[in-house]
Structure 1
């Protein structure tokens, strides 16, 4: 320990001439302006000077590079295994953890799957996640080491090449297995051919007479696209690299994505996507009969801020739950009672069923209905009780999920229990539905993706009044783009989900193509969502028109709405927020290819709505 005098002397030496002079003159009553003059003469302390020099030379230091990737198995919002990817970078010669991301698993949650099917799905999911963890910790860790996290294109190119190589190897293995199985089958067939030979004169194709005419008319369902085991590693790593690039650049992820999409030219203003908030999940619950409205969503008007829109949705949700607890209070709505048919139905209409005491994995209430008008009556009553009007103060969207309704034996959609309609009759039903209830501004998957002729018809009839959106047809993003075209039925837009081998560059390229073809982009969360909120930044950065995040419940859903609110506040503070708009596409005004049917539709039938 130094003596007091020597310690004071050393302190004065370290303080430098500015501090020493200032203390001396301050003790002798020097005015404040003299101290200010001394500060001007000696502006920096030695420590400050060293800091300035360090900052200056750091500009010439090597840019941060990826030094390690860590993959691990974690749980998603419904307790299923999925993948987390961590990024470590070398920053100024030190290894530093930059960020991590969790990607959602590809498998969807079956509502009425058999126990054996569920077990097989769970095993496949587990194997896929384990393979993805191996890819990240082994191959991808080696391939990406030394690359800059800000070079997203180069990283995604390497990831794409690796995925293609793994897919080709998988095909070769499957081809060998099929050849071996064919040889075994041929040997067995030759041994028992005499025992299974048909009697002379017996017609082998007799069973074919049972096939109905309607079944041969509708296009068959496209085969389910197989998911390569381990493909989660590609999407998870690409998104983690994007987050690392944003962190290194000291900007939010949505700005980093916007810069990537616009070639480093940041837009002066950005528009927030409108939320499609799922209010009800209409399961197939006996004795409820309604099948073709899987999700009912609320869409706030554009004149409200996001915060105001979310608050209004919450008010409607609370009122709706109150009505479901006391169904006798639901009164007839004037709009639904105007039609002759509506008067007769409303007179003897049953009260809405009581809501089940459980929340869907989508973060909303689960209940069931006997008819669509029963559901719309409840929605209108809830809004009226709050002094709101559907079509002005709030809009509706319906996820029809038509691919789940097709009865291939009859060749028709089962919209109600025991009520079937052909694809053409479905178009007529939707035309009358939107004309009668114009506050429904979005229909998701109103038809199967295979019914392309009917998609064309419904777009020509309703494109200027309603968004007709494909979600099931857009599950595999890598299959959507074909030679600067979108491989989907004719529609207003698509729902994109960041799953499996999807890369950030794929989303950027695809949304640019959709923008150029007047399609709207919707970023949607999958069923097995995680608490990672990167999806919201992707939606804002890519300029999506809507974002479909589920309901205002469950932590993995609410955290994304909170992130959207935070981005709105930040953009408004920086004067970068631009008001959204609702513009429909008038498909009938566009020129049609020769092979497509005419835009002119026959007048809709009178009794096409489900009773």
Structure 2
């Protein structure tokens, strides 16, 4: 018996950070090595993402349960995966794709498929007795590992905060930090300062899905002004020590019938050109260095125009719903010269190998990569190891609150402690 071959697997229903069911997998090898992984779920989801499945039984977790999905996946996958060598991640993931047989994993479900893919990688790392990030590095030859620059949620709106603000996220990036731990401490200071300033103004400091503060401002300018004030109150220099990133999540704002973007809180409808001018103006007035999803996932013309316009300011333009961690979508974007960075979400893709293919293509084309968590997360820290191993450069986890976020931040602290990796510089710094 080959000791690294898969002997058995388990799937179970657990709860994510929003109290909704998700899938956790155990993969056990012939030598007893075991890997465990759980998968997240998004609130602001694009239509090109791999498809997660739910049971739809309203009497069990209001239809969000996954027990029937798990039973079906176990029946489909167990016999086919047994005997596959866990050290051959490409073969494992090819088997999973073949089992499902659909482009978006709509038959078995991307949630159990991804859980099995990631758990297999953990089992393989246990088998060779290497830390996960070092084992994953062997799967991405040519990409130098590094500690990622955190891109951390401070203020939340959009689908993460029940529409409390039109734009989804206002984030802090410690571009002046020289170490990961220093950058994390700076971020914690900024978040604390923002909470104090909101309390002084009599605003409720409720938390959104990702642990960010939800002030409910009507205009993006109000949120950005608070961000600058919080950075200064944290004894940091806006644009030098700490920069701002924004996630518009414009697909959530897009009204297809009218081809416009509806800003409910601001009481405005913007054409694509007006949205372009609005975001461009904000970037000129505030220390914003990164903009994510300023247009709908199918508004290619607006994306192209804005990419050209943003180039004069050397800003990072990130595609999330636009690319959906899909190699074909990214290839189209590269061909059309759209954006210059891609958000990497493993559950948008469905397998580890597929995700690594997207990272490799992005890096080959000179696109920056930002490994990202989801709004519905688990305490699994896999993406922290992935960001390090692939030299992603940036990571977007959520705020520095709640255990499902801290598990990733703290894993990066442990990896930093090894003393062999440096903090990645921001792409345009």
TM class by smaller structure: 0.7 to 0.9
- Determine helix, strand or coil for the equivalent of 1:367: coil
Query: Does 1:426 find its partner at 2:288?
Result: no
Q: Whole-Å Cα distance in 1 between the matches of residues 370 and 60 of structure 2?
A: 27
Quick one: which of 373, 376, 381 aligns to 1:528? 376
More helix by share: 1
1:209-358 pair list within 5 angstroms? 227-228=106-107, 230-262=109-141, 270-282=145-157, 291=166, 293-327=167-201, 354-358=202-206
8 Å contact from structure 2 (residues 111, 347) kept in 1: yes
Which residue does 1:154 correspond to in 2?
91
Counterpart CA distance in 2 for 1:410 and 1:529 is: 34
Name the SS for the 2:397 alignment partner. strand
Distance 1:525 1:108 in 2: 12
Q: How many residues align?
A: 417
Please state if 1:473 is matched with 2:348: no
Match of 1:130 in 2: 68
Cα separation, 2, equivalents of 1:508 and 1:283: 29
What's the TM-score once normalised by structure 1's chain length? 0.63
Q: Do the aligned partners of 2:344 and 2:359 also contact (CA within 8 Å) in 1?
A: no
Q: Deviations over 1:576-609 (max 9, x none)?
A: 3234223349xxxxxxxxxxxxxxxxxxxxxxxx
- Indicate if the aligned counterparts of 2:236 and 2:242 stay in contact, CA closer than 8 A: yes
Do residues 540 (structure 1) and 419 (structure 2) align?
Answer: no
1:547-562 to structure 2, matched below 5 A, reads 547-562=395-410
RMSD: 3.1
- Structure whose CA Rg is larger: 1
Distance 1:535 1:579, change over 3 A: closer
Which has the bigger relative contact order, CA under 8 A and spacing at least 6?
Answer: 2
Matches within 5 A, 1:47-62: 62=2
Match of 1:100 in 2: 36
- For 1:285 and 1:363, the matched residues in 2 are separated by 9
Report if aligned partners of 2:156, 2:169 keep a CA contact under 8 Å in 1: yes
User: How far does residue 444 in structure 1 lie from its aligned partner after superposition?
Assistant: 0.8
Residue 3 of structure 2: aligned partner: 63
C-alpha separation in 2, matches of 1:105 and 1:364: 17
C-alpha deviations, 1:482-503, integer Å up to 9, x for none?
Answer: 6x97588711111121116611
Q: Is the 8 A contact 2:160 2:375 kept in 1?
A: no
> Which residue of structure 2 aligns with residue 79 of structure 1?
19
Q: Map 1:354-365 to 2 at 5 A.
A: 354-365=202-213
- Residues 508, 383 of structure 1: CA spacing in aligned structure 2 closer, same or farther, 3 A cutoff? closer
User: Of residues 429, 433, 457 in structure 1, which corresponds to 2:305?
Assistant: 457
Asked whether 1:577 is paired with 2:421, we answer: yes
Deviation at 1:561, TM superposition (A): 0.5
In the superposition, relative to structure 1, how do residues 583 and 67 fare at CA in structure 2: closer, same or farther (>3 Å)? closer
Structure 2: gaps (5+ residues): 47-55
Unaligned residue ranges in structure 1 (runs of 5+) = 1-60, 111-116, 169-224, 328-353, 586-611
Kindly tell me: are residues 382 and 227 of structure 1, through their superposed partners in 2, closer, same or farther at Cα, counting changes over 3 Å? same
SS class of match (1:538)? helix
Q: Distance in 1 between matches of 2:316 and 2:426?
A: 10
